[in-house]
Structure 1
């Protein structure tokens, strides 16, 4: 049972929600249902059966499976709904997928209707013991992931998020020497489980034989959209079937196995949700209730982005969701009729409940919220996510609010969204610009290098943001690179450095990760950066998802494996050291004699029972002179037990605050140890 009426209705009958039919005549939709021999094969149609509207549910159409003749036998069925296309380019009857389907099958062409542009996969359902049951392609009825014990999961202030697009590259024989493929949930599982070989990437030793992400030590996995996308054979943001796991990535059972595994290791699952635009069946079933084309409605405020100076919303080949519109309709969440329901709001809140319930989601990343452009909806979605999280753990009075987070991507960084309760955190886009400048020894206008680094180390100091800006570290998601690799200074770190004539990539990459993993905020690592992966396809930085991750490259030369181990040591400290979960930051040394390029600061509080972290950096091309470099005002200099984290070594008492620095080097010191 779900806290969503329409999902429970689907257990008893076939249902199709068409809000406009509550106020205007609609030709009855037909259920087109049939079977295939095994998982795939030719479709054999059983028949076409009209749905009917219940007397008490405005806009809902249903069909009792018991009314189908010949009677359904226990087994797996493929089906579509035949509707009259309502998109602006109406072209008569069309077979569409069930918008609420948990599984879709692209291997079967619709028996009639539909061209390439409007192609709709079959919906998949299992009939057993007189009930309709969600199932995988092979008929397996997936079980929900077990809710994890919150005590075993990391708090928001100690997260290290791993942003993973399941688009990978294997060494092969194409023009660039790479066979580009799409990973699966099982391949992701192999990154956490050495006993899992993977599926499409089992030929890569680093995937087959090791648990790379367990070794790296990240404690939050962000899967870029795991819901089914229209594009086949590649990963992307063209979400089409919001309730279904992506056909290319694997089944709901595959994803559940992955979730159970990472939860056993204390890793939270974040999912990426695309709600600015969709390629979903409602583009045809009931276009005007759910979607709009902004150029066709220039006077509609729903046509314009937020924080974009009058720029229209972009559907990126899909259709913008219509958020301002309301209608008298059946409410799919409550089951009641609502005289002023926002159909798009309700649809998105419904699939949120499915993912929260079945995959025990521990955080959300909302894509391109400026292109969603409706703060009221986003606040409603965020609030509903928190309600579902609290209910999972016995209610708000007993659940731990530090173990869930709703993050928004809005590259203009409007921190007012946080303080007005729209979301909990934002991508900190200025961090990327500052870090990439700093590792080249450059400043970001209007600041000098010192203040570029100060604001890098603590985004709370960034006064250029909407007041009051970031007020605590869990509001800011920091990153070196993200999946948005297109644009100026956005490419993968390896390519960024070599394009700037930096050839000692390992040294600068270590510097970048030391800054990322010791700064105030939640660090996010884009998959592959931990071993300085390179761009193979997206050399022109044209499309974000066309640059795959090449895990085979991790073992391509000893320096990459060494970089991976360096990052892993810092990740371990970031996820466990108390000081790096605090906001306190104090700069205590800026060497003016060296042009302000050597700096030192303290992270975390000092005092009884505290173990601060000290970061010392040299952002210049020359080593410090002599055999020692004295850093004055070192906190707790007189105490024993200091160690340098990134190299994993003890520091003799007489050398504390006196160690030399190489060019472009960062050192991270603390007295903290796990056993303390």
Structure 2
């Protein structure tokens, strides 16, 4: 059973508003509540404006729905706001804000999504209590807890990083204005896993209607880019506004539950992306000083929250408001107030408001949606190791509560900090990091180049085995998230693989893409595929913003792209199941100095395991003659050797002797699934 989060339990019986540290307010907050009529025009008809009363707990305001007059109607969906005095730096006066704990919000209640507009919160009144519901009144329950045995271990995961909203393209000959972006939904994602689901906005597109593309790819971990509510339309959700609610444009809680239920039946873990450096949430107006930081305020010049970690740069709110992770201080840098009602325990203790708020939505997402892992965005911009560690540990406590004896290899908290400061791992702050250096090395090698000051051989060695990187020595492959491409497609050599190769005048894209994926899916570390790279999608718009060019699944139907997709899906299946690829042990057995060290071979797998041998030709020339000998081939006398990428058996007399074509990787083993 999941640990109790006190404030979330209380909101089942009453409307609740937490104002930490005795916030001074000109008047008590009010509840503004009514019923929704879709119109036109859409309208919320107000039925009541009622004042909150102070709870017996300091800093907690409450309102029993049974005391509202005229009485609320049973089994009815209501839209509501909290009316407060705006305490943001702008000071807009009395305004209506979204419930910070709202599980569902409805932007139909607004005429525009301007900076200060707040959508209505949605709740159902039934049997004298408040029940979370979708806008249609559906009350989704959490997905069933999957069998622990069915979930993949971290070191056998292949993650699929998916912007939940993607694009559709009308005609390859038309210009980029015909690319429609930000039109995907949770149901459209479900269609990628279930061929019987047509999707919502993608119904009628053969690639979605007739196939379960991602299920066919065979990945076993789905990472959705932020699925919590964000106000902007046409982006991927890195402007979180309502942390406890699913994104209104992506779909309802019930639709997300159906997606998670489906992928769990496919033995696939669910990861979600979380943005906690900055936000656009209601506490900007309700209690700015306790929750948020104004870097320009004179009293904040000595605040420990001002600067990024691992740099001398100020934190960046990217148009939002920075979250405060240390207590607000006075002119002498002394904490102002620290004791408050604790939303987690229900006790009056020293509380970091932002810490407690974020743990609350973590509890919501893990218990309501069966989250099996987390990716935390922009760790350096959060800039507080203590908070991150506390958040990570709370995530683990909720995960551990699912099973009588939880398997620690089947949950993971990943951070994005592109300088790869491994003290985030060694200190126990996080479990894993994005390995930006891996992408740098792989992309250099695809052009026959070196990277990061190493010679060619050591560029390969460190790409193959991240534990050999002296600057960032990961101690276990499950700590390193490797990627050819990520959603950060802006910047030098960050674009999609197709565009990277084209921009560097590499025209045998099919061959080079297969080469890249063979290296990628046999290297030490957890591979993460950015959606669309499995069929080498390409940019439809200029590379100017990571959020402007989501994946286009219609391209997968092209013949050469389908061949790459089939190649990748074969290698994904191998990566998930082969024991040697879940181990960190790597031995380099061949470096061909006669070719500048650009034909190399290495063995994956530790003592007692059936080895995997990878042979790679990083040159533009085929090997001469009818054979190419690897003198140190392991277990050469064993029967049953096969070449994985071509799915063929290798005759005993050809083991360790097969020729290589230019830019070719061959993967050998006698292990069988």
TM-score (norm 1): 0.95
SS at match of 2:233: coil
> Take 1:457 and 1:400, find their aligned partners in 2: how far apart are those partners?
27
Residue 24 of structure 1 and its aligned partner are, at CA, apart by: 3.2
Residue 606 of structure 1 and its aligned partner are, at CA, apart by: 4.2
Aligned to 1:590: 591
> Take 1:486 and 1:202, find their aligned partners in 2: how far apart are those partners?
31
> Take 1:26 and 1:188, find their aligned partners in 2: how far apart are those partners?
47
Aligned to 2:325: 323
Range moving further from structure 2, 347-356 or 204-213? 204-213
Residue 23 of structure 1 and its aligned partner are, at CA, apart by: 5.4
User: Does residue 1:659 correspond to 2:658, yes or no?
Assistant: yes
Select the residue among 365, 384, 393 that pairs with 1:374: 384
Aligned to 1:576: 577
Closer, same or farther: CA 267–118 of 1 in aligned 2, 3 Å: same
Aligned to 1:496: 500
Select the residue among 284, 292, 309 that pairs with 1:306: 309
Counterpart contact for 1:39–1:137, Cα < 8 Å: no
Report how many aligned residue pairs link the two structures: 656
SS at match of 1:483: coil
Select the residue among 134, 151, 155 that pairs with 2:132: 134
> Take 1:518 and 1:6, find their aligned partners in 2: how far apart are those partners?
46
Matches within 5 A, 1:324-473: 324-325=326-327, 327-338=338-349, 340-394=350-404, 398-465=405-472, 469-473=473-477
Range moving further from structure 2, 559-568 or 621-630? 621-630
Closer, same or farther: CA 115–638 of 1 in aligned 2, 3 Å: closer
Deviations 1:589-614 (A, max 9, x none): 0000011000000000243xx21100
Closer, same or farther: CA 233–39 of 1 in aligned 2, 3 Å: farther
Residue 181 of structure 1 and its aligned partner are, at CA, apart by: 3.6
> Take 2:486 and 2:180, find their aligned partners in 1: how far apart are those partners?
23
Residue 129 of structure 1 and its aligned partner are, at CA, apart by: 0.8
Matches within 5 A, 1:551-630: 551-556=553-558, 558-607=559-608, 610-630=609-629
Counterpart contact for 2:3–2:401, Cα < 8 Å: no
Counterpart contact for 2:227–2:237, Cα < 8 Å: no
> Take 1:175 and 1:493, find their aligned partners in 2: how far apart are those partners?
21
Residue 134 of structure 1 and its aligned partner are, at CA, apart by: 0.2
Residue 233 of structure 1 and its aligned partner are, at CA, apart by: 4.5
Counterpart contact for 1:165–1:545, Cα < 8 Å: no
> Take 1:370 and 1:630, find their aligned partners in 2: how far apart are those partners?
48
> Take 2:24 and 2:642, find their aligned partners in 1: how far apart are those partners?
73
User: Does residue 1:90 correspond to 2:85, yes or no?
Assistant: no
Closer, same or farther: CA 39–348 of 1 in aligned 2, 3 Å: farther
SS at match of 2:355: helix
> Take 1:486 and 1:29, find their aligned partners in 2: how far apart are those partners?
44
SS at match of 2:521: helix
User: Does residue 1:231 correspond to 2:232, yes or no?
Assistant: yes
> Take 2:143 and 2:461, find their aligned partners in 1: how far apart are those partners?
42
Q: CA RMSD in A?
A: 1.5
Aligned to 1:671: 670
Matches within 5 A, 1:224-303: 224-296=225-297, 297-303=300-306
SS at match of 2:53: coil
> Take 1:23 and 1:228, find their aligned partners in 2: how far apart are those partners?
27
SS at match of 1:392: coil
Aligned to 1:545: 547
> Take 2:279 and 2:433, find their aligned partners in 1: how far apart are those partners?
22
Residue 175 of structure 1 and its aligned partner are, at CA, apart by: 3.5
SS at match of 1:634: coil
> Take 1:409 and 1:26, find their aligned partners in 2: how far apart are those partners?
42
> Take 2:181 and 2:347, find their aligned partners in 1: how far apart are those partners?
48
Range moving further from structure 2, 447-456 or 226-235? 226-235
Deviations 1:593-636 (A, max 9, x none): 011000000000243xx211000000111111112111110111
Matches within 5 A, 1:89-128: 89-109=90-110, 116-128=114-126
Counterpart contact for 2:181–2:549, Cα < 8 Å: no
Aligned to 2:334: none
Residue 38 of structure 1 and its aligned partner are, at CA, apart by: 6.1
> Take 2:617 and 2:261, find their aligned partners in 1: how far apart are those partners?
43
> Take 1:175 and 1:46, find their aligned partners in 2: how far apart are those partners?
50
Residue 39 of structure 1 and its aligned partner are, at CA, apart by: 9.8
> Take 2:304 and 2:408, find their aligned partners in 1: how far apart are those partners?
35
TM-score (norm 2): 0.96
Counterpart contact for 2:342–2:348, Cα < 8 Å: yes
SS at match of 1:137: coil
Deviations 1:352-394 (A, max 9, x none): 0111111111100000010000000001001111111111112
Matches within 5 A, 1:178-197: 178-197=179-198
Counterpart contact for 2:113–2:232, Cα < 8 Å: no
> Take 1:606 and 1:633, find their aligned partners in 2: how far apart are those partners?
16
Counterpart contact for 1:409–1:426, Cα < 8 Å: yes
Counterpart contact for 1:218–1:571, Cα < 8 Å: yes
> Take 1:289 and 1:181, find their aligned partners in 2: how far apart are those partners?
34
Counterpart contact for 1:167–1:545, Cα < 8 Å: no
> Take 1:105 and 1:23, find their aligned partners in 2: how far apart are those partners?
28
> Take 2:25 and 2:230, find their aligned partners in 1: how far apart are those partners?
31
Aligned to 2:4: 3
> Take 1:626 and 1:115, find their aligned partners in 2: how far apart are those partners?
67
Residue 52 of structure 1 and its aligned partner are, at CA, apart by: 1.3
Aligned to 1:62: 62
Aligned to 2:79: 78
> Take 2:128 and 2:537, find their aligned partners in 1: how far apart are those partners?
52
> Take 2:216 and 2:633, find their aligned partners in 1: how far apart are those partners?
32
User: Does residue 1:521 correspond to 2:520, yes or no?
Assistant: no
Residue 445 of structure 1 and its aligned partner are, at CA, apart by: 3.2
Range moving further from structure 2, 220-229 or 1-10? 1-10
